[in-house]
Amino acid sequence: MKQSKQGGAFGGNRGLRPVPPEKGVFPLDHMHLCDLEKKEYLNCLKSSGHKSDNCRHLSKKYLVCRMEKNLMAKQDMSELGFGKNYDAETSSEEMEQ
């Protein structure tokens, strides 16, 4: 019986070079530099029934912290889904509260 040379250990591909994703992978915060922002965001998610739209301002705060502490590449917030429309919506929501 011939064995296939395509599959590696646990069904993985042998000989193919893995390609890293463009976004989503960045250094872990081993020094806990952005723990406060992370906890605020996670608490918001928990209290809002995991509706992320209600916690976008904290998500933005967390990403800004990571960029300032060099835990991820600095990017324009519009590239991360926080465009001018988002900023205008946030300002009006903050004024209502």
Expressed as residue numbers, the domain containing 59 is: 32-96
64: which residues sit within 8 A by CB, 6+ positions away? Answer: 77
Taking a C-beta distance cutoff of 8 angstroms, is the pair 22, 75 a contact?
Answer: no
pLDDT of residue 27: 76
Overall pTM surpassing 0.75 (yes/no) = no
Q: Based on the structure, what is the number of domains in the chain?
A: 1
- Taking Cα atoms as reference points, which of 67, 61, 59 lies closest to residue 42? 59
* Gap between the Cα atoms of 97 and 80, Å rounded: 26
pLDDT of residue 12: 59
Taking a C-beta distance cutoff of 8 angstroms, is the pair 34, 71 a contact?
Answer: yes
pLDDT of residue 66: 94
Q: Greater confidence, 34 or 20?
A: 34
88 within a domain of the structure (yes/no): yes
Spell 8-17 as b/e; 16+ CB within 10 A means b. Answer: eeeeeeeeee
13 within a domain of the structure (yes/no): no
Confidence of residue 17 (pLDDT cuts 50, 70, 90): confident
Q: How far is CA 1 from CA 4, 5, 8, 51, 86, in A?
A: 10, 13, 17, 54, 61
- pLDDT digits 0-9 by tens, 27-76: 788 899 999 999 999 999 999 999 999 999 999 999 999 999 999 889 99
